[in-house]
Chains A and B, each alone.
Chain A
Amino acid sequence: MIACVLTPFLGLRAALGKEQKRLREAVALAPQHDEAQVLGEVSPTAHELGVRPGMSLSEALDVCPRLGLVPPDPGRAAEIHERILRRLEDVGAGVESERDGEAFFDPAGLIRLHGSLEGVLEAVAGKLGPATLVVAAPTRLAALSLARQASRAESPTLRILPPEEAGFLAGQPIQALNDRLPGPEAEVRRLLTSMIRLGLKQLGDLAALPADAVADRFGPNGVLARDLALGREGPIRPRQPHEQFREWLDLPEASTGSHLRGGLIILCDRLAGRLRASGTSARSLSIEARLTGGGSWSKHSSPRWPTASPTILRLLLLPALDQLPRPAETLGLRVIESAPSEADQLEVIHRPEQTRRKRLNEAARQVQATVGDRSLMRVLEVEPESRLPERRMLLTPYFSE
Chain B
Amino acid sequence: MSEASSRTLRLYQPRAVEVAVAAGRPIQVDDVDVVQIREEWVVEDGWWTADPIRRRYFEVVLIDGRDLTVFWKLDEPEAGSWFAQRA
Contacts and interface: CB of A to CB of B under 8 A. Distances in A.
Interface of A: 246-250, 253, 266, 270, 274, 373-374, 377, 379, 387-397
Contact of B13 (A274, A387, A390): A390
Given A389-B12, A393-B12, 4 more contacts: A246-B1, A266-B8, A373-B7, A390-B10
Nearest to B13: A390
B2 A395 contact: no
B22 interface: no
Interface residues of B, number: 20
Nearest to A246: B1
Contacts of B2: 246-248, 270, 274
A205 B53 CA distance: 69
A390 B85 contact: yes
Contacts of B53: 388
Among B1, B4, B14, which residue has the most Cβ atoms of chain A within 10 A? B4
27 contacts: A248-B1, A248-B2, A248-B4, A248-B5, A249-B5, A253-B49, A377-B9, A379-B11, A387-B45, A388-B43, A389-B85, A389-B87, A390-B10, A390-B12, A390-B13, A390-B85, A391-B10, A392-B11, A393-B10, A393-B11, A394-B8, A394-B9, A394-B10, A395-B8, A396-B7, A396-B8, A397-B7
Given A246-B2, A248-B2, A270-B2, A389 B86 contact: yes
Interface string B1-43: 1101101111111100000000000000000000000000001
A396 B6 CA distance: 10
Contacts of A396: 7-9
Among B7, B8, B9, which residue has the most Cβ atoms of chain A within 10 A? B8
Contacts of A391: 10
A394 B4 contact: no
A395 B10 CA distance: 6
Contacts of B5: 248-250
Contacts of A270: 2, 4
B4 A390 contact: no
Please list the 5 inter-chain residue pairs (A to B) with the smallest Cβ-Cβ separation, ordered nearest first. A389-B12, A395-B9, A393-B11, A250-B5, A389-B87
Nearest to A381: B11
